[in-house]
Amino acid sequence: MAETLEFELVSPEKLLMQRSVEMVVVPGAEGNFAAMRGHAPVISTLRPGVIDVYDKRPEIADRIFVAGGFAEVTANRCTVLAEEAVPLSDLDSGALDQAIRDLAEDVTDAKEATARVAAEKALNVAKAKRAALRR
């Protein structure tokens, strides 16, 4: 059996997942990266995307969408601090399509720059969720 890595997924509200895994693939700002036991220490910002959790490769045990955040990897641990995290299976394509339409209107209707930036960020996250469902 392969050596395991301790994986923790934390949202602002609570600890969402804590367990030993063989590997996790994380959507880093510079691209996806895999963390396994013995990984070199690294801290990375995250882009909106999917974390793939492997208890035993090649099967993916869990897929979790994260809206952004940070990941810290050491030789025996991977900790993800996520702005928002939701299991991919909990996402609804129809609801996302409606949210994208609504958020696009919010971007267009925004009178102030701060409101526009917030709406654009929410729109980009909703689009990333929809793209993740299509993979």
Say if residue 132's pLDDT is above 70.
yes
64 HSE (CA, 13 A, CB side): 24
Residues 2-14 have pLDDT tens digits of: 799 999 999 988 9
The rounded mean pLDDT for the chain is 93
56 and 28 belong to one structural domain: yes
Check whether residue 11 and residue 38 sit in a common domain.
yes
Residues 68 and 106 reside in one and the same domain: no
Q: What is the pLDDT of residues 113-129, one digit of tens each?
A: 999 999 999 999 999 99
Structural domain harbouring 125: 91-134
Residues 65 and 102 in one domain: no
What residues contact 106, with CB distance under 8 A and at least 6 apart?
115, 119, 122, 123
Residues 65-113: tens digit of each pLDDT: 999 999 999 999 999 999 999 999 999 999 999 999 999 999 999 899 9
Q: Does 75 share its domain with 12?
A: yes
Instruction: Look up the pTM and report it.
Output: 0.88
